Structure 1
Amino acid sequence: MKEIVLITGASSMIAQELAKKIGNDYSLRFLTRKKKHDNEYEWDIRKKTVDEAAFENISHIIHLAGANISEKRWTEERKKELISSRVDSAALLRHVLTKNEIKLKSFISASGINFYGTHTTEKIYTENDPPGNDFLSEVVVLWERAADHFKEHNLAERVVKIRTAVVLSEKEGALKKMIPPIQYYIGSPLGSGKQYMPWIHIDDICSIYEFALKKSNIHGAYNAVSPQSATNTELTSEIAKTLKKPLFMPNVPAFALKLMFGELATAILEGSRASSHKIQEAGFQFKFPDLKEALHDLLQKEK
């Protein structure tokens, strides 16, 4: 009998790619807002309702649910949604496990590299560093605290928190948004361009989840970030080189981005590096540690 893994955030890019990677080794179920397939079960975080049949005989939960950080301006209502979609969803899962006296082998939660704060420094952050003091770090701290409750309440043998960098994929996300301007000769770095953009290839982030699922000695927080760092300018330039397009437009000024995105612009204009040493020490090997190779792989798919 295959162990059953329940995955939240069924429509997310990572959930869909992860399912392809682990689907042969595990029996997969998904929590989603609207059921479309037999292995999907509906839940509504706002109404605090969930189809409890999804939890029967499960061994693991991979918690990927969470509203997109960069999708909309950060109004006060949006900020509440960003937190609720992560924290309240975890609380709903915890409620069902408690009610039905289910103990998991593992609870593996998405998290964010912005745990360390949204600012540009020369420091390379490790998992031993404290959290920052801005909105995004607050979101991640609450997100991880919600995950830790599963261990504290004896609902999971271990809890793993994957502090995810910018995921590079040809299908959606930051890279997909950066490609069209460059293709139409209007691409350029953002702000100073000196801000770091911690990144990871979509295949590697899915492999990290698989690694965390299969390795019973993995627990706690891990930076899911490529070993090779890149600034916004370096990333933009490397995309242009891969696409064989010139970059001749001036940098997009910071004030313009602030006018367009409000407080959200901070997440675009600031960024520091994070270390991947801990996950590598645990035995994980990146398939795409090099930015040039990662972009070549992804953008060749684009053609």
Structure 2
Amino acid sequence: MRALITGATGFVGRRLLTKLDQPAVVLSRNAAKAERTLAKFEVTAFDWDAENQPAPAEAFEGVDVIFHLAGEPVSEGRWTKAKKERLRESRVAGTRNLVQTITQLANKPRVLISASAVGYYGDRGDEILTEDASPREDFLGEICISWERESHAARLAGIRVVNPRIGIVLGEHGGAIGKMLTPFWLGLGSPLGSGKQYMPWIHIDDLVHQMLFAAERESISGPLNGTAPNPVTNLEFTKTLGKVLNRPTFLPAPPTFVLKAAIGEFANVLLQSQRAVPQRSLDAGFHFHYPDLEPALRQILAK
């Protein structure tokens, strides 16, 4: 598999590089820096200003699968007006500019794995959300709708398109766990809000293997929930992480207004409930190594 990756220096992109059978091509805002950062993977990097220009056509020579993971981080920094614009443009314009190039290639890639997010569904309580569930037109939902729509333009050129709607990615040395550990080690772990909201988590290795599985299976196209089969509530997650760390979790949840004062509008995302399940992956025969939370956390935290 000759792969091209955008967002390769990110948490998921780096793990994906470890699973490929040959060096990848990488598109990055700073190609020289990306090659230094990813030197052990022997990548070939090309400069690309995703929001403002088409992707460089020369980067796609011999490429048969694209993993498009690039996007402004959702959870880093307060959601100012400028931040929200970057969240949108890095995904929507970036995908548009990528697709503009690949649809014009003489030798086109066979598949585009173009990321999306469970934010597509909005706040849905305890409703079970398969890939057929409707979107919610809140801020993240509208971004996801537009993000996926831009990728679908590649279908008109005969390119198969898959959209992993990625949940909360758990893994060592980064991701959601990296942000949670300090308060738990200090014995300050507590649920957020009511604790009843569902957290659509997934182990990073399962997510990467799911994307590779989708790349190889010609029968798979459209959305795939990038989530484990067994989502848990925030309260269940809190208790399980405390158990694995052998730390107390008896503190009451901080009031919602305190959480919003501390981190701004992003607090709304943390309090949303998405009971997303990966029905299409399961139906296609994909095997999750970490379908349940406690074994996943124990594997991650043992490293």
TM-score, normalisation: structure 2: 0.92
Q: Secondary structure at the match of 2:174?
A: coil
Question: Superposition pairs for residues 88-107 of structure 1, below 5 Å?
Answer: 88-107=93-112
Q: CA RMSD in A?
A: 1.5
Aligned length: 294
Q: Secondary structure at the match of 1:255?
A: helix
Distance in 2 (alpha carbons) for counterparts of 1:175 and 1:213: 27
Q: 1:115 corresponds to which residue?
A: 120
Q: 1:87 corresponds to which residue?
A: 92
* 2:199–2:232 CA contact under 8 A, matched in 1: yes
Question: Superposition pairs for residues 206-285 of structure 1, below 5 Å?
Answer: 206-285=208-287
Return 5+ residue gaps in structure 1 as ranges: none
Q: Secondary structure at the match of 2:65?
A: strand
Q: In structure 2, do the counterparts of structure 1 residues 155 and 82 end up closer, same or farther at CA, with 3 Å as the change threshold?
A: farther
Q: 1:149 corresponds to which residue?
A: 153
AA aligned opposite 1:8: T
Distance in 1 (alpha carbons) for counterparts of 2:221 and 2:120: 17
Distance in 2 (alpha carbons) for counterparts of 1:88 and 1:42: 16
Q: Secondary structure at the match of 1:10?
A: coil
Match of 2:10 among 12, 15, 23: 12
Distance in 2 (alpha carbons) for counterparts of 1:194 and 1:139: 25
Q: In structure 2, do the counterparts of structure 1 residues 285 and 98 end up closer, same or farther at CA, with 3 Å as the change threshold?
A: closer
Distance in 2 (alpha carbons) for counterparts of 1:264 and 1:223: 22
Q: 1:298 corresponds to which residue?
A: 300
Q: Percent identity?
A: 39
AA aligned opposite 2:209: S
Match of 2:177 among 175, 178, 183: 175
Q: Does 1:34 align with 2:39?
A: no
AA aligned opposite 1:12: G
Q: CA deviation at 1:192?
A: 1.1
1:1-24 per-residue CA deviation (whole Å, 9 max, x = no partner) reads xx42111011111111011112x2
1:63-82 per-residue CA deviation (whole Å, 9 max, x = no partner) reads 00111111122222211111
Distance in 2 (alpha carbons) for counterparts of 1:245 and 1:175: 15
Distance in 1 (alpha carbons) for counterparts of 2:105 and 2:12: 28
TM-score, normalisation: structure 1: 0.92
1:23-46 per-residue CA deviation (whole Å, 9 max, x = no partner) reads x2x441111122242511111124
Distance in 2 (alpha carbons) for counterparts of 1:124 and 1:133: 18
AA aligned opposite 1:125: L
1:226-245 per-residue CA deviation (whole Å, 9 max, x = no partner) reads 11121111111111110111
Return 5+ residue gaps in structure 2 as ranges: 36-42
